[in-house]
A and B are shown apart, each in its own frame.
Chain A
């Protein structure tokens, strides 16, 4: 089986490795760098920078931990970005090494479908070649959405991509869009000392999360003195001598050194020859696939952001595995019921399964259990007591149908609840398991106990 894969992000490269593992002969085409948005312009770069800002935050608070700082700690963005580039470089090399190890051919250039079985690759030096294959996987991803209201100049009006390459810490920053990306950058730059203002069109921050998570994050942003305007649109942006001006729908005018626009992502489905292969797109430009990740054209699969589903690296990878297995003759279909997701704000957020309002909309009879991190010994020892854990279970079966965490290490803690969901376990099952002390994971147990009003370390309600 010869497979050509368009795009070497977390969807494409994982599909490539899986297919090669199953015996395929794989070529993968990438016009930027392997690892895609996730590794080069997204997940990994932001988390690497957050490692610096988290440390900075701890150092600023060192007196509370009985440590005296003899001098100042000064963030140097050039060096922070250098470290980020080093980490990214290491991981890029790692993926290239895996390709080599599995005899996967990496074609560095821009690929365009010429027919359902042919891709023309144009390398950076202009040379062209046509790859023929038995099947194709499209994994071209997404990019920051550009809309005319925000005339990006890469300097004053920027997207997340440019924000990861800044050399100087901006004195002030307006962030348009309080989704995952907007809120993560708000926390990063605020920690570096930037005056941050967020403007969000929707009524709440991280609007796809559970309502209580949004409320708590709004409070945490307020604690950091990040200004937040929700339920309001930016109507006009102008670059003037004193900075970028944003005009809000209610007549307010905000001024800052830069504006970071994080209002969504556009799918990379143009100029890749979909029309030459007859592949159907949806109204948002996404490639339409079935639950086997196959497009309307047999033998052509698509995975990851370009299919318009959940824009998560690990979702793309899971879809890549499904596509590779189907191509190699196994039966696999994608299941979106248990997908953990994390937001690396400070504190972190993580979720899996249904939000409370979704359970309500579905007409499910449910119970919720809450537990505050401030009731945990470990959280006090760490000096990170903000946030809570919330578990939602179905009344009739007691099975866990959703979990939501805001607080220290939320992104790691969520997986206990996710595994419980996957295995069909109940709140009682988690409550009945002995958890090690002192750990943050005890909070999961207590939240599960609280589903039945039995949390040991919570005050009576």
Chain B
């Protein structure tokens, strides 16, 4: 079996968490307190991770999602839940792919048909999946360093061009904690912090296994802090305007003018954001392909083309960016968060507990 080491796992998690999050102003209802909502969301996400997702992995460290489902729910019920998860992963991939295509259309290639750019990026993702977990994790490890450096330079440039004014964050908690909490739960918890369910597909490759939970937690918190920071920077540079722009971060970068010749950096930032979206999409694509192949009892590579077709067709179903974002946030609240991120994992964990307790009783 392929193995990835802990730093590669950490890179994957950070990349996956950051992914497309800086594209949006999360918890925009909370106004200037959005960053507090994000922080609370992160804490709740961490709680979910500690209480549910990681224990599942710890009870079956050498199994991935399909194995755990089959073992716990039996072959038929396990497959049904497995198929549901394939659809969920595929939808998530669709969402990222569509975001990618639409933003490409908006910022870089207005004349290229969106289906073409989506097809290209999906093919590249398929190529990454074809090479396996190890290659994917190492690509994440490699690019993460570069992306973080670019982000830091960007933030520094914003700071030194006096775009950032932390007074815009005031007054803190002006409208009370309730509004902030409402913005955080369940929306921010479900996206992006509740999405760690996907890593049930990848954790088993990480070694040494006993360090996995710790590394996961740390990298999760690092990514969460980074997202909180990004939100703070967006708000403190754009102020109330942040709530209205399509991609606030690009809006900010647009205003950067440095040393009289560095200006209009937005294509660069767009690429940076797309790097994150690409990695996230590939991770979901990977999860879907892997799960599909395992349900069919085949090698991973057989899952690539069916899952790819599913994702591509799915991404063409939306009429516009707005529709897909609206649909995304709507579904997140109704379906993903309660069902796939909380209900199924909790049920799974309970079933595993009961089963193992039962077995202990029988043997003891």
Instruction: Please indicate whether A and B come from the same complex rather than being unrelated chains.
Output: no
